[in-house]
Structure 1
Amino acid sequence: MQWLALADPGSGSPVETLARLRMRDAGSAPETQVRFVTPGGRTVYVDFFFRGSGLVVEIEGYAWHGSRAQHQRDTARYNELADCPEVRKMLRFTAADVLYRPGAMVRRVQAALG
């Protein structure tokens, strides 16, 4: 049952867990479900944060954007997150990226980390 230790109870989805494991296999160890308070006072949690480089990585599922209102909410969230002083760069990937193109996702994250 050693593999259970790899599960993160704070993960927002199974695809997010898979993305974290893919990044870990590639030698990256981001913090997960990191809390930010935007300059406007909004609390935002991000899927992954690489504190040393200020890189935020988000995994986007279709269900999250199932309506115009949800899409608008996410756009506002993204823009507010960009105003946080700790955040220097953000990457967003779809569930399909994680499931079907994990190598490309990992390479893009590694390139952003420098």
Structure 2
Amino acid sequence: FYEDHALYDSYTGVAVDTEEGRRIASALGTRKALVLRNHGLLTVGDSVDAAAWWFLSMERSSQVQLTARAAGRPLLIDHKQAVATREQLGGDLVAWINYQPLWQDISRGEPDLLS
């Protein structure tokens, strides 16, 4: 999510107003993840599978970040390495591929979802 997420500070609740939706979309821009202040996460992708994988990954990344901060000073990855990692692993095809085993488990465990 390096340089591929944003923070939406103005979030006030469920977006039932189209103008609120426009502001959220504008804050997201071309990024794949948005942190909604006092609410949670929003992720997007080229497919539902990719968006779901990004959501799970962003949630886990957030948990790791909070744990690292609680434990002391987090170790930062340098810009060049972070960009290289994003370029290698930050595409929606990678997300789609990573989501497939989870989807297989879900669809086996909850076959009613498919009917």
TM-score, normalised relative to structure 1: 0.28
* Greater helix content: 2
* Greater strand content: 1
